[in-house]
Chain A
Amino acid sequence: GENVEQHPSTLSVQEGDSAVIKCTYSDSASNYFPWYKQELGKRPQLIIDIRSNVGEKKDQRIAVTLNKTAKHFSLHITETQPEDSAVYFCAASPLNTGNQFYFGTGTSLTVIP
């Protein structure tokens, strides 16, 4: 099955700096890659996703890049704010109805005011 690795496990940045979280996957059949943000005590929430036919996607201060050849994808957060502090999970999934997501182990991001 798919194996998703995520790095780093913890990340601290100063407010206003950028944060980058990286994930690798093993199954070349995976072609949908969502990112989730989980605040303390809350449910994971989808913040951005990318499909395999796209190399980059942006949504305001958040961007995701995908390199299918190297089987890695990354989350970039610019101009970080304290409210960005949370645990972030990457995931990979084959693009078939019902197929499960394979999650990374999470990155705990702390933005220091």
Chain B
Amino acid sequence: NAGVTQTPKFQVLKTGQSMTLQCAQDMNHNSMYWYRQDPGMGLRLIYYSASEGTTDKGEVPNGYNVSRLNKREFSLRLESAAPSQTSVYFCASRLGGAYGYTFGSGTRLTVV
């Protein structure tokens, strides 16, 4: 049982490049989330998917897009990376109701 798997773990991009962060969970969770974590800013929600087939914006969606490919997979795309998107990105999933998140191990992204 792998839980929540994120790839890649590290990435360096040049300004203007695009990339997709992948996330997959094997716990049959309904909801999936993408957060970014910056020093002193805590965890900020980028996008989430309450259930397969739905996606919604979070607190900081600008510059990102998401795809809920199926129940297991939820990807985050940066179309044109900017230095302000340098951050640690966490994917999380949740069964729903009174259950907590399970987080992936994170992707450390640097945009130069």
Q: Which residues of A contact B (CB under 8 A)?
A: 32, 34, 36, 42-46, 49, 51, 89, 95-101, 103-106
Contact = CB atoms under 8 A, between A and B. Distances in A.
Given A97-B30, A100-B48, A46 B96 contact: no
B100 A49 contact: yes
B103 A43 contact: yes
10 contacts: A34-B101, A43-B104, A44-B103, A46-B101, A89-B43, A98-B48, A100-B48, A100-B58, A103-B43, A106-B42
A69 to B, nearest CB: 20
A95 B100 contact: no
B43 A44 contact: yes
| Highest count of chain B CB atoms <10 Å: which of A42, A45, A100, A101 | A100
Interface residues of B, number: 26
B78 to A, nearest CB: 21
Interface string B100-112: 1111111000000
Q: Is the interface of B mostly helix, strand, loop or mixed?
A: loop
B40 to A, nearest CB: 8
B51 A34 contact: no
Contacts of A98: 30-31, 48-51, 54, 94, 96
B74 interface: no
Interface in B17-68: 30-31, 33, 40-43, 45, 48-51, 54, 58
Given A97-B30, A97-B50, A104 B100 contact: no
B31 A95 contact: no
A45 B51 CA distance: 22
Nearest to A102: B45
A25 B84 CA distance: 29
A106 B42 CA distance: 6
B90 A44 contact: yes
Contacts of B94: 98
